[in-house]
């Protein structure tokens, strides 16, 4: 997850402030770093691969003196970690750093190449530097050039720009789920991708919203819309203690992690989707011959990761047409599984330290299966022992109940399913392109779904005193129902059951009583009618229905007491989108009840005993 820092002031401390800020952003994970400072009116850029110590030692030899500069930690999305791909990117007199993903990167790159631009990196951010440079060459000032350049960008991004020819300002812009804030000082200003980064310098901040541009000068900050209309944004005074600072201004880690999901997903898919027509998954070292001869795939996981596995099975069987089983890791060894060297075993684990998942992986590997782990933690036991690893780049998950790692695991499984299908030659190029395009759109839809926060809070208030909840779903909606019920149990200690909606009549219907809240995952068009008929059965018996549906659905309000509308999307993505309001529902009910959301009683983040 990339990090942005910027400084403009009177004393020559740009380099030191930027390095200090980058250190504070290290927790986000990165693979290279760089900075640009205007020294004696000239842009000076230093970039290095690996940890910040490398950048620091490069600067120790040739320190940069200057009062204005920008710095960046990069987590590779377009192009491998390398000095050329590290930010800042320079074109003409302009230097740019950026977070996020430019979706029309390929088209823009081709257009710019056609106009004679030469690229030094594989990144999408370099495109932005050339677009701005083109506008500068037409005589526009820096602010106007940035405004004109970003009109060409589709995607979600936050950028910061400096320019030799306009040495008195930093220009920043934001769109989509990449935060950027300004810290206001006396005659000096600070830019960063989160508030804690600038807290040692100032507690007065301005937060840039989507589709806004900021011009930052020593004496103050102007914010305008992308179209140029001035915005009077109030400053915020930050009073956090150090622990609150770590939470980035959110009340709890879990809330922060729910809101980090657009970034967790885009960081997980970004490096693997640099091309429009193929997936870059060389890291998982799949041999095409082995994949063609596969007899089956076995997923093993616990808890929330098992729910991701249930979605993974649907994805793998539907997309790659390979038989796929998914087992609770704790049960796997005890059913004498039939794995051979022609099977692939996929353990899924956020921590990489879950004892049952490790045990299941070792058992499957001892039977001859090749293992491909999905994991979020480098150097964990599972990643050390597996034959290969697909890392989810969700960043550290502190809340004990998993949120962003679940959605990152689902997109990881989706990418693996597509890779398997490609290696088996059963995906047409058009289908693959469509899948890639849809995956790239997902972070933005997740961002939009986060807007449901207050709506779901109001629904939570209505049902906060319910003693039991039922969650129902079918197809991709079934694992979502299980996950919604698990989150509610864990966080709020309210009894909740998740069921395949078709199973309702085979037992759980006996539970339905006056006012029992039943959450119906109904945003899957292929099973909508069936799921909604369960809603009717619930209401006929006095239960209260909360339906998660696609935006634009005009029918659900006839069958539900409360409706939560998520963006319309392909069904597999719909599962990710429907999960988010259910995480929110659990979170709100828990906070209203006053339970410890980040550390629910009796639970541990890594379950290292069987």
Report the C-alpha gap between 280 and 287 in whole angstroms.
14
Helix runs in 101-236, H state only:
105-114, 125-137, 142-150
357 vs 524, beta carbon nearer ligand F6R: 357
Least distance to ligand F6R, CB of residue 354, Å? 3
* Residue of 158, 247, 168 whose CA lies nearest to 208: 158
Tell me which of 51, 140, 593, 605 is the catalytic residue.
Answer: 605
387 vs 606, beta carbon nearer ligand F6R: 606
Least distance to ligand F6R, CB of residue 344, Å? 19
Least distance to ligand F6R, CB of residue 152, Å? 40
Sites of contact with ligand F6R (CB under 6 A): 302-305, 349-351, 354, 357, 401-402, 486, 490, 606-607
Least distance to ligand F6R, CB of residue 261, Å? 14
Helix runs in 451-508, H state only:
453-463, 477-492
Element (H, E) at 232: none
Which DSSP symbol is given to 233? P
Least distance to ligand F6R, CB of residue 5, Å? 32
Report the C-alpha gap between 344 and 347 in whole angstroms.
10
Residues 6+ away with beta carbon under 8 Å from 506: none
Three-state DSSP state, 36:
strand
Report the C-alpha gap between 436 and 421 in whole angstroms.
13
The verdict on whether 605 is a catalytic residue reads: yes
The verdict on whether 2 is a catalytic residue reads: yes
- Residue number of the CB closest to ligand F6R reads 303
130 vs 393, beta carbon nearer ligand F6R: 393
Element (H, E) at 437: helix 429-450
Least distance to ligand F6R, CB of residue 299, Å? 12
Rounded to 10 degrees, the C-alpha dihedral 596/600/601/602 comes to -160
213 vs 586, beta carbon nearer ligand F6R: 586
Report the C-alpha gap between 517 and 513 in whole angstroms.
9
The DSSP line for 367-436 is TT-EEEEEESSTT-HHHHHSSEEEE-------SSS-SHHHHHHHHHHHHHHHHHHHHTT-S-HHHHHHHH
Answer yes or no: are the C-beta atoms of 175 and 155 closer than 8 Å.
yes
199 vs 377, beta carbon nearer ligand F6R: 377
Least distance to ligand F6R, CB of residue 349, Å? 3
219 vs 596, beta carbon nearer ligand F6R: 596
Tell me which of 2, 117, 324, 405 is the catalytic residue.
Answer: 2
215 vs 588, beta carbon nearer ligand F6R: 588
Catalytic residues: 2, 605
């Amino acid at each position: 997850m990339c990090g942005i820092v910027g400084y403009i002031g009177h004393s020559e401390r740009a380099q030191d402030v930027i390095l200090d800020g980058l250190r504070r952003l290290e927790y986000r994970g990165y693979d290279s770093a760089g900075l640009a400072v205007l020294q004696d009116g000239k842009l000076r850029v230093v970039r290095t691969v690996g940890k910040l110590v490398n950048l620091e030692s490069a600067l120790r030899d040739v320190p940069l003196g200057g009062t204005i500069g920008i710095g960046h930690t990069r987590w590779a999305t377009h192009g491998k970690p390398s000095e050329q791909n590290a930010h800042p990117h320079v074109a003409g007199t302009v230097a740019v750093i950026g977070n996020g993903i430019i979706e029309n990167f390929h088209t823009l790159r081709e257009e710019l190449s056609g106009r004679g631009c030469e690229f030094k990196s594989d990144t999408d951010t370099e495109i932005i530097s050339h677009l701005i440079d083109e506008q500068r060459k037409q005589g526009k000032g820096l602010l106007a050039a940035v405004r004109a350049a970003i009109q060409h960008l589709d995607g979600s991004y936050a950028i910061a720009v400096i320019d030799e020819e306009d040495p008195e300002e930093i220009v920043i812009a934001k769109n989509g789920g990449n935060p950027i804030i300004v810290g206001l000082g006396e005659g000096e200003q600070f830019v960063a991708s989160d508030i804690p980064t600038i807290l040692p310098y100032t507690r007065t901040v301005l937060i840039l919203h989507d589709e806004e541009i900021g011009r930052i000068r020593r004496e103050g900050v102007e914010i305008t819309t992308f179209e140029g209309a001035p915005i009077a944004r109030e400053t915020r005074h930050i009073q956090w203690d150090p622990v609150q600072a770590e939470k980035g201004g959110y009340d709890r880690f879990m809330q922060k992690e729910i809101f980090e999901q657009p970034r967790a997903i885009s960081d997980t898919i970004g490096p693997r989707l640099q091309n429009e027509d193929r997936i870059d998954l060389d890291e998982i070292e799949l041999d095409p011959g082995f994949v063609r001869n596969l007899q089956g795939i076995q997923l093993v996981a616990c808890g929330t990761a098992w729910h991701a596995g249930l979605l993974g099975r649907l994805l793998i069987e539907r997309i790659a047409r390979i038989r796929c089983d998914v087992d609770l890791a704790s049960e796997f060894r005890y059913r004498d599984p039939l794995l051979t060297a022609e099977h692939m075993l996929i353990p899924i684990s956020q921590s990489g330290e879950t004892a049952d998942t490790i045990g299941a992986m070792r058992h499957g590997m001892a039977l001859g299966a090749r293992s491909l782990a999905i994991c979020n933690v480098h150097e964990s036991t599972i990643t050390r022992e597996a034959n290969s690893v697909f890392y989810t780049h969700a960043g550290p998950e502190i809340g004990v109940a998993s949120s962003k790692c679940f959605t990152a695991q689902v997109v990881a499984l989706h990418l693996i399913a597509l890779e398997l299908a490609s290696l088996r030659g059963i995906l047409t190029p058009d289908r693959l392109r469509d899948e890639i395009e849809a995956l790239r759109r997902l972070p933005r839809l997740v961002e939009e779904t986060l807007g449901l926060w207050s709506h779901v809070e109001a629904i939570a208030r209505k049902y906060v005193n319910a003693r039991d909840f039922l969650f129902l779903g079918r197809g991709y909606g079934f694992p979502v129902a299980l996950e919604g019920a698990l989150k509610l149990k864990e966080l709020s200690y309210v009894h909740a059951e998740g069921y395949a909606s078709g199973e309702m009549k085979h037992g759980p219907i006996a539970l339905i009583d006056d006012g029992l809240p039943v959450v119906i995952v109904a945003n899957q068009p292929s099973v909508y009618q069936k799921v909604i008929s369960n809603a009717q059965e619930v209401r006929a018996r006095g239960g209260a229905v909360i339906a998660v549906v696609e935006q634009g659905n005009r029918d659900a309000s006839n069958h539900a007491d409360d409706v939560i509308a998520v963006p319309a999307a392909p069904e597999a993505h719909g599962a990710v989108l429907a999960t988010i309001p259910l995480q929110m529902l659990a979170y709100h009910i828990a906070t209203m009840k006053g339970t410890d959301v980040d550390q629910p009683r009796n639970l541990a983040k890594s379950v290292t005993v069987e």
